[in-house]
Amino acid sequence: MNFSTALVTGANKGIGRHIAQQLAEAGLTVYVGSRDRARGDEAAARIGGGARAIQLDVTDRDSIDAAAAAVPELDILVNNAGILVDGAAPPDATIEAFRATYETNLFAVLAVTNAFLPALRRAEHPRIVNISSGTGSLHWSSPGPEQQFDNAGGGAAYRSSKTALNALTLFYAQALPEFRVNALAPGLRRTDLNARAATADGDPAEAAAAAVRLATLPDDGPTGLFHQYDGTIAPW
């Protein structure tokens, strides 16, 4: 497959930076999306190759429009930017925390994707990868033999935003059959998402490799699915 240009949001650190680095190492021009331009410049310099910093605050309409205007051609969009505001269960959660979480983890994905659709539609093999979370799986959060997450509804804003992101991924895949649109559960990785992730053993480069695989799928590859980093399919 001939992929030449990619954009990764939230790419100045964590899994996003590793995704950008691996795509650049594969010979692509990679736009390193960062809310802070200076941090984006620093990340792009570290990555080298075809990495180019681009200021992109995924919650700011003007920033999104300016970035889209600066990227006339695009083969791959990786919606990686995400936040975890708190770990509250619904009885202790605030509307403000939910709104802030959904603004970045869901609404921003819609805004960014739609802004870059004209460029993606000009590509021969358009690809969209949404970085989700296994904690967004309702199946894995429900009582039963395959339950993986049982923490009394903790992290409700983050987890439900990723559940909604999974649904949005499926609907994009249905609306854009000529695209390959998939979601990825990267697993717990050593990032600054929260205190638990900061001390995790998981290598973010391993999750990034899974994202790159989905970003470079052949035309007969899967679409509208929720993938685990090991290549298996996660339950909704």
Scanning the structure block, which residue is given the tokens 């999974």? Answer: 166
∠ CA 201-33-122 to the nearest 5 degrees? Answer: 120
Alpha-carbon gap, residue 180 to 51, rounded angstroms: 23
Cβ proximity of 58 and 104 under 8 Å: yes
Query: Which of the 8 DSSP states describes residue 191?
Result: S
Is 13 assigned a catalytic role? no
Q: Which of 31, 158, 172, 229 is catalytic?
A: 158
Shortest CA distance to 55 belongs to which of 65, 47, 45, 156?
65
Q: Which of 13, 31, 102, 162 is catalytic?
A: 162
Cβ proximity of 82 and 135 under 8 Å: no
Is 162 assigned a catalytic role? yes
Dump the DSSP string for 133-149.
Answer: -GGG-HHHHSSSTT---
Phi and psi at residue 79, to the nearest 5°:
-85, 90
Cβ proximity of 97 and 145 under 8 Å: no
User: Where in the sequence numbering do the catalytic residues fall?
Assistant: 158, 162
